[in-house]
Amino acid sequence: ALCIQDDPHVKVMMAGSTLRKVKSRSWKKQRHFRLLEDGMTIWYKSRWAGRGHSTFSITEVEAVREGHQSEVLLSIAEEFPADLCFTLVFHGRQGNLDLVAESTEEAQAWIQGVRKLIHKTQTMDEKERLDQWVWDWFNKADKNKDGKMNFKEVRKLLKMMNVEMNEEHALHLFTMADKSESGSLEIEQFVHFYKMLTQRDEVWKVFQDFSGDGEKLMLEELENFLRTEQQEGEQSAQHAQELTDRYEPSESAKKQGAMTFDGFQMYLCSQEGSIFKPEHRQLHQDMSQPLSHYFISSSHNTYLLENQLRGHSSLEAYIKALKRGCRCVEVDCWDGSDGEPVVYHGHTLTSKILFKDVISTLKEYAFKVSNFPVILSLENHCSVEQQTVMAQHLSQILGDTLLTTLVDGLIPQQLPSPQELKGKILLKAKKIGGLEVCLDETLTDEVSDEEEMANGECSDDPPKSKLSRELSDLVVYCKSVHFHGFEHARLHGKCYEMSSFSESKAKKLAKEAGTDFVQYNTKQMSRIYPSGLRTDSSNYNPQEMWNVGCQIVALNFQTAGLEMDLNDGLFRQNGCCGYVLKPDFMRDGSTQFSPEKPDGKQGYKPLRLSIQVMSGQQLPKVNQKEGSIVDPLVRVEIYGVPQDQAREETSHINNNGFNPVWNETLNFVIHTPELALVRFVVEDYDKASRNDFMGQFTLPFTCLQAGYRHIHLLSRDGTAIPPSSLFVNISISELT
Ligand SMILES: *[C@@H]1O[C@H](CO)[C@@H](O)[C@H](O)[C@H]1NC(C)=O
Ligand SMILES: *[C@@H]1O[C@H](CO)[C@@H](O)[C@H](O)[C@H]1NC(C)=O
C-alpha cells in the first residue's frame, strides 16, 4: 500500500534476512524475517517451524534503537558488536524485540528501512490510515495468501473487525464490489466494499443541512457551517478556504471552490476535525514563570516495570516514562556490592539495576521528547561512602547537563523558569545547609568545619555524618525538607525547599486548608507520592492534588487506568512537554482560591457543557472470542474541583460495535473550567457483571472544540487504536 518499495533498504527487507532473535544471554535463535508485499507487515518464522510463523505490523512499532541499547543486548555485548545489534520497541506494553544481524549492511538495511516505514505510517493522512487499517485486516484474514476472499471469508473477516451487518445488505454490496463477477474480492475491491458498508448517515445529514444543492458545499456554505456549528467566529472564511485546499480529494471540486461529501468527511475525521484544539497540541504557554507555577508530569518508583513486591526493575522503565513526557523521575538507591550503588525497591524481591546505568540512561533519553528540565528525585538509603560514589557518577556522566550552580549567582526569591533551565537535570535530595552556604563557598572557596556543623545542626537534615558533602553540594533548587505546617512555611520557607507528602496527608491538607495549600504552592514545590500500602502499584486520583496546585504529583506510570488517563490528558496540552502552566488564580501568592468554594473566586463564571453523543465508529473488540459482539455505551466523566465531579452515560446499544448511533445529550455545569478534565469512556455493557472497558480519551476542558467533532479513542495503556472513534456535537455556553 505504501509506495516506498523502491527504497534500497526496504528492498532488502522484502527479500528477507536471517536475524538472531535474542531473549537473554543464553536464548539466541535464528529466524527468517521479511517484509510482506503490503509494505507494512513483518513476518518471521524459524526454519523448522513448518507452517507456523509470527507477524506484526509496522504500525505497532514505536522506534528502532541502534546498537546495545537494551538490557538484553548489553548482556551479550562482548559476543556481538554494536553495529550488528538493534532493538524494535513496540507501543504499549508489548516487550521489545532484540535482534542481531549477520552483517553491518544488513543491520543498517533493517534499521533504516523500519525507520522509514514508521515515518511513513506517522505521516499518513486519515484516508491512507483507514486504507492501511483495512489492508492489515485483509492480510491477517487471507490465510492462504492468494489475495482473494469469497463472501463467506468476508463475512468472517467483518466479524473479526467488529462489523455486524445485515447479511442481505452486505451481499448486495459485495456483488456490487465484485466487478469481475468472480465470486471473490481482491484487496482493492474489498476496500471499496468496506467503504460502501461504512457510509455515515449522520454525517450525510449534517452535510445536507448546509449544502444548497445536496452535492457540495460552496465556500460560503462551508463558512456558514464553521461559524454556526463549529463556533469558529472570525476565522471561518479563511478556514473554509484552507480546509478545502487541504481535504478535498477532487481537483475539479477544488477548482470550483467547493467541498464534496468525501472532503467533508475527511475534514471531520482529521486532527483538525477532532475534539482537541489543534493550537493547544503545540507548545503555547508562557514558559518563563517560576517552576512552582507549573504542573510537572511526574513518575513514582520509575525503575519498576511491574508491581512493587516482585516486579522487574529496568532501565526500560526510565526510557518509557521519559518518552511519555515525564519530567520528574525517582531513583531509590541502596548500597550495592563492590561499592557500586544499586536501584531497586528496598527489602523486596524486585530485581536490581546499577545506579550508574540509570544515570547513563537518563543522560541519553532525558531530552528526546521535551527540552524542559528533568528533576531527579533521589530516595537515598546509602552509606556516606556510596553516596560519594553516586555524586561522582552524577558529575562524570551528566557533566554540564547537571545543574550544580545558581543560574544567575544570586540567592533566589523565586524559582527559575523552565525556559531558563532548558536542557538541565536538577537533583532533588537532602542538602547540608542552605544556598547561602553555597554562595559563601564560591566567594571564599572554603568553609570552616565549625560553619558546617552549625549549618548542619540548625536544619532538619539528618545528622551531618549521614550525608555525603559531595552529594549535598549537587543539590541547588530542590532541597528536600520536612514540612512543619503552612504557617511555618510562610515565615521561614525558602523557594528552593520542597517537601514530600503521602497521598493521605495531602488529601487531608487539601480538605482542611485548601487555600493555604494553594498559596504555599505558588512559591514552593510539593511532591505527592502514593501510599506505601499500594503494593500492587495502583494509583491515587491526581486531580485532588492538582486542585490545590501541587506540582509534582507522582504516579506509577507502569500502571494503566483512570489515573494515568488523567495524567496523559492534562499533559496532552502544551506540546506534551511535561509542563502545564497553572491557572492565574493559582500563581498569585495572596490568592483566596479554594477548590471547595469555587464560586468565591474573582471572575467566577460557570459554564454549561452539553455533549450530544451521536455515534461510534469501528469500536475495538474487547473479547476476542469468535461471535461475540459488543453492547457499547458512552460515559462522560468530569474531573475537577469537588463540585465539578460528575458522570453521565448513554444507554447501551445492543450488538453493535461497528456503527452504533446513540444520539443522546449529556449535560454538565462546570464551575472551575480552568481545572476540569473531561474523560470519554466507551464500555461494553454487561448485565450480569462489570462492564468491559473498550476505549477512552481524556482532555482538559479548555482544549475542547465546540461543534461536530470526532474523538479518536485510546486503548487502556494510552496507545491509539485507529480507526475507533466517537462522533459528538458539543456546545459550551455561559450559565445564565
Ligand atoms: C437525534 O435527536 C434529535 C433531537 O432529539 C432529533 O432531532 C434527530 O432527528 C435525531 N437524529 C437521529 C439520527 O436519530
Ligand atoms: C448540534 O448542536 C447544536 C447546538 O446545540 C444544535 O443547534 C444542533 O441541532 C445539534 N445537531 C444535531 C444533529 O442535533
Tally of helices (H runs) and strands (E runs) in the chain: 24, 30
Strand 425-429 to strand 342-343: parallel, antiparallel, or no bridges (unpaired)?
unpaired
Which of these ranges, 128-132, 495-499, 701-705, has the smallest mean pLDDT?
A: 128-132
* Nearest atom of ligand 2 to the alpha carbon of 202: 13
For residue 729, the CA-to-ligand 2 centroid distance in Å is: 7
Q: What are phi and psi of 111, to 5 degrees?
A: -65, -50
Q: Is 665 in the pocket of ligand 2 (CB under 6 A)?
A: no
Residues 6+ apart with CB under 8 A from 324: 297, 557, 568, 718
Q: Which of 300, 652, 671, 710 is catalytic?
A: 300
**Which residue puts its alpha carbon closest to atom 2 of ligand 1?**
663
**How many percent of the chain have pLDDT more than 70?**
93
For residue 10, the CA-to-ligand 1 centroid distance in Å is: 50
The 10s digit of each residue's pLDDT in 18-32 is 999 999 999 999 999
**Among 67-81, 596-610, 633-647, 677-691, which range has the highest average pLDDT?**
633-647
What's the pLDDT score for residue 695? Answer: 97
Q: Closest ligand to 727 CA?
A: 2
Binding residues for Ca(2+): 301, 330, 332, 379, 629, 631, 655, 684-686
Q: 608 or 133: which carries more pLDDT confidence? A: 608
Q: Closest ligand to 663 CA?
A: 1
For residue 708, the CA-to-ligand 2 centroid distance in Å is: 9
Q: Is 612 in the pocket of ligand 2 (CB under 6 A)?
A: yes
* Nearest atom of ligand 1 to the alpha carbon of 663: 1
For residue 707, the CA-to-ligand 2 centroid distance in Å is: 8
Q: Is 209 in the pocket of ligand 1 (CB under 6 A)?
A: no
Q: How far apart are CA 152 and CA 160, in angstroms?
A: 13
Q: Is 128 in the pocket of ligand 1 (CB under 6 A)?
A: no
* Nearest atom of ligand 1 to the alpha carbon of 202: 13
Q: Which of 615, 663, 729 to mutate to test the pocket of ligand 1 (most atoms within 8 A of CB)?
A: 663
Residues forming CATH 2.30.29.30 domain(s) in the chain: 3-123
* Nearest atom of ligand 2 to the alpha carbon of 206: 13
For residue 220, the CA-to-ligand 2 centroid distance in Å is: 20
For the chain, give the longest Cα–Cα distance. 96
Q: Is 651 in the pocket of ligand 1 (CB under 6 A)?
A: no
The 10s digit of each residue's pLDDT in 218-243 is 999 999 999 999 998 888 889 999 99
What's the pLDDT score for residue 458? Answer: 37
Crossing angle for the helix pair 167-177 and 187-197, nearest 10 degrees? 140
For residue 633, the CA-to-ligand 2 centroid distance in Å is: 21
The 10s digit of each residue's pLDDT in 329-343 is 999 999 999 999 999
Say yes or no to pLDDT of 533 above 90. Answer: no
For residue 288, the CA-to-ligand 1 centroid distance in Å is: 48
With 0-12 / 13-18 / 19 or more C-beta atoms within 10 angstroms meaning exposed / middle / buried, residue 359 is buried
What's the pLDDT score for residue 714? Answer: 96
Q: Would you place residue 442 in the very low, low, confident or very high pLDDT band (cuts 50, 70, 90)?
A: very low
Tell whether the torsion through CA atoms of 259, 262, 264 and 270 is positive or negative.
negative
Q: Are residues 229 and 709 in contact, defined by beta-carbon separation less than 8 angstroms?
A: no
**Which residue puts its alpha carbon closest to atom 1 of ligand 1?**
663
Q: Which of 612, 668, 708, 728 to mutate to test the pocket of ligand 2 (most atoms within 8 A of CB)?
A: 612
| DSSP designation for 51 | T
For residue 215, the CA-to-ligand 1 centroid distance in Å is: 22
**How many percent of the chain have pLDDT more than 90?**
66
Q: Would you place residue 356 in the very low, low, confident or very high pLDDT band (cuts 50, 70, 90)?
A: very high
Which of these ranges, 34-38, 108-112, 361-365, has the smallest mean pLDDT?
A: 34-38
Say yes or no to pLDDT of 654 above 80. Answer: yes
Q: Is 202 in the pocket of ligand 1 (CB under 6 A)?
A: yes
Q: How far apart are CA 383 and CA 339, in angstroms?
A: 10
For residue 611, the CA-to-ligand 2 centroid distance in Å is: 10
Which of these ranges, 220-224, 465-469, 681-685, has the smallest mean pLDDT?
A: 465-469
* Nearest atom of ligand 2 to the alpha carbon of 708: 1
**Which residue puts its alpha carbon closest to atom 7 of ligand 2?**
229
Q: Is 231 in the pocket of ligand 2 (CB under 6 A)?
A: no
Across 499-518, average pLDDT: 97
Domain covering 127-197: architecture: Orthogonal Bundle (1.10)
| Nearest 10 degrees: Cα torsion 410, 415, 420, 421 | 110
**Which residue puts its alpha carbon closest to atom 6 of ligand 2?**
229
For residue 240, the CA-to-ligand 2 centroid distance in Å is: 20
Q: Which amino acid is at 70?
A: S
Q: Give the 3-state DSSP-derived string for 638-672, with helices as H, strands as E and coil as C.
A: EECCHHHCEEEECCCCCCCCCCCEEEEEEEEEECC
Residues forming CATH 1.10.238.10 domain(s) in the chain: 127-197, 201-270
For residue 130, the CA-to-ligand 1 centroid distance in Å is: 28
Q: Is 628 in the pocket of ligand 2 (CB under 6 A)?
A: no
Q: Is 731 in the pocket of ligand 2 (CB under 6 A)?
A: yes
What's the pLDDT score for residue 331? Answer: 96
Q: How far apart are CA 693 and CA 565, in angstroms?
A: 13
Across 579-594, average pLDDT: 96
Q: Closest ligand to 201 CA?
A: 1
Average pLDDT, the chain: 89
What's the pLDDT score for residue 524? Answer: 98
Q: Is 664 in the pocket of ligand 1 (CB under 6 A)?
A: no
Q: Is 663 in the pocket of ligand 1 (CB under 6 A)?
A: yes
Binding residues: 301, 330, 332, 379, 428, 430, 500, 527, 629, 631, 655, 684-686
Which of these ranges, 110-114, 445-449, 527-531, 717-721, has the smallest mean pLDDT?
A: 445-449
The 10s digit of each residue's pLDDT in 382-397 is 999 999 999 999 999 9
Say yes or no to pLDDT of 481 above 80. Answer: yes
What's the pLDDT score for residue 211? Answer: 95
Number of neighbours of residue 324 by Cβ within 10 angstroms: 18
**The domain 603-734 belongs to what CATH superfamily?**
C2 domain (2.60.40.150)
**Which residue puts its alpha carbon closest to atom 7 of ligand 1?**
663
Q: Which of 229, 268, 608, 610 to mutate to test the pocket of ligand 2 (most atoms within 8 A of CB)?
A: 229
| Residue found under cell 520497541 | 89
Q: Are residues 639 and 677 in contact, defined by beta-carbon separation less than 8 angstroms?
A: yes
Q: Distance from CA of residue 634 to its chain's centroid?
A: 22
Binding residues for substrate: 428, 430, 500, 527
The 10s digit of each residue's pLDDT in 511-532 is 999 999 999 999 999 999 999 8
Q: Is 729 in the pocket of ligand 2 (CB under 6 A)?
A: yes
Residue count of the chain = 736
**Which residue puts its alpha carbon closest to atom 9 of ligand 1?**
663
Across 289-307, average pLDDT: 92
Say yes or no to pLDDT of 687 above 80. Answer: yes
Q: Which of 345, 393, 652, 671 is catalytic?
A: 345
* Nearest atom of ligand 2 to the alpha carbon of 229: 3
CATH hierarchy code of domain 291-439+476-586: 3.20.20.190
Q: 8 or 442: which carries more pLDDT confidence? A: 8
Q: How far apart are CA 260 and CA 240, in angstroms?
A: 13
Say yes or no to pLDDT of 189 above 60. Answer: yes
Q: Which residues pair with residue 379 across a beta bridge?
A: 332
The 10s digit of each residue's pLDDT in 166-175 is 777 788 889 9
Residues forming CATH 2.60.40.150 domain(s) in the chain: 603-734
**Which residue puts its alpha carbon closest to atom 3 of ligand 1?**
663
Residues forming CATH 3.20.20.190 domain(s) in the chain: 291-439+476-586
What's the pLDDT score for residue 305? Answer: 83
Domain covering 3-123: architecture: Roll (2.30)
Q: What are phi and psi of 605, to 5 degrees?
A: -145, 90
Determine whether 300 is an active site residue. Answer: yes
Across 128-156, average pLDDT: 81
Record the pTM: 0.86
Q: Does domain 201-270 have CATH number 1.10.238.10?
A: yes
Say yes or no to pLDDT of 628 above 70. Answer: no
